[in-house]
Amino acid sequence: MKLLQYTDLEVTGLKAQFERTLALLAEFNFRKLCWSLLRVALGAFTGLCLLLYFGQSRLVYFPTRAIEETPEGAGLAFEELRLTTRDGATLGAWYVPAAATNSRRAILLCHGNGGNIGHRVEAIRFFHSLGLQVLIFDYRGYGSSSGTPSEEGTYQDARAAWDHLVQVRDFAPAEIVVYGRSLGGSVATWLAEQVHPGALIIEASFTSLPAMAARLYPVLPTRWLCRFRYDSLERLPRVTCPVLVAHSRADEMIPFAMGEQLFQAALPPKRFVTLRGSHNYGEGTLPPAYENALRAFLALPDELH
């Protein structure tokens, strides 16, 4: 067999062609790898967006059913109530009468998105110590309340509690203070816009849920994905009663700046109180300075009307 003979120039050409082929193959494989990685990334991104869109109820509401404590444990007499909302849900609620039977001031407590009314006994005790009649309720899906939570549902639940105070307990709107903490701040703001109470207290709350979602998931288009609004910032300019906003600089969950934005959006007369401690610190402890600020603020409606 005759062996092929190549000149040095031909060998060099073959070598160069071989190297070009290898380079093209490497470039092709690199592009293929990039496209594969891009498809995986887009698939993961899309999956995460779908998970956030369809599963966000589980990221917003954290209800528990077991009632671990009642006002009786704090030495307070109370009535256990069943409230019925306008859309047919039944809610567990407590009414704690003031020590002075002639007291004509009541406070309606809208709690946060976790636990149930059994975790708010300290708040009940504090407001009761101010001489207020206290009504606290569980949102649907929380504690002994029926159903599952939703944004519109929480609004209807707060309205049912308000209706109980006005229609059953015979309080005038100006005699009722609406208080909301964390997510409850948005519920309380919605209610205050609808019914015009004597005063509104917003504690450790956010401007809107899309704004919170954008902070927690900055790489996702959360403002388009968020099915819940809870937009206090948009509603506050239409709230006509005195407003107190309280927030801690050390709040690790909801930025202090959001409390400042809420205060700026509220109409006068209004007050801002700077709290101390973490987000959940105020659930069990109310520092003396905050107590004093609340006592002074709760005198505002009588002075201003």
Q: How far apart are CA 154 and CA 143, in angstroms?
A: 14
Residue 147 pLDDT > 80: yes
Residue 60 confidence (pLDDT):
94
- What's the CA gap between 44 and 71, in Å, rounded? 48
Query: Residue 224: what pLDDT?
Result: 77
Paired tokens of 93? 């609620």
164 catalytic per annotation: no
pLDDT score, position 127: 93
Q: What is the pLDDT of residues 222-272, one digit of tens each?
A: 777 889 999 999 999 999 999 999 999 999 999 999 999 999 999 999 999
| Tokens matching residue 51 | 């998970």
Q: Which residue is catalytic, options 128, 164, 247, 279? A: 279
Residue from 145, 150, 182, 205 carrying the catalytic annotation = 182
Structure tokens at 139: 């949102």
Residues 79-88 have pLDDT tens digits of 999 999 999 9
Q: CATH for 59-304?
A: 3.40.50.1820
Choosing from 119, 164, 248, 251, the catalytic residue is: 251
- Six token digits for residue 31: 């592009």
The rounded mean pLDDT for the chain is 87
pTM metric for this prediction: 0.84
Q: Which of 7-16, 99-108, 252-261 has the lowest mean pLDDT?
A: 7-16
Residues 39-55: tens digit of each pLDDT: 776 766 666 666 777 77
- What pLDDT, on the 0 to 100 scale, is given for residue 122? 93
Domain ranges of the chain: 59-304
Is the pLDDT score of 95 beyond 70? yes
| Rounded percentage of the chain residues whose pLDDT exceeds 90 | 63
> Is 279 part of the annotated catalytic residue set?
yes
Cβ distance 285 to 122 under 8 Å?
A: yes
* 232 counts as catalytic: no
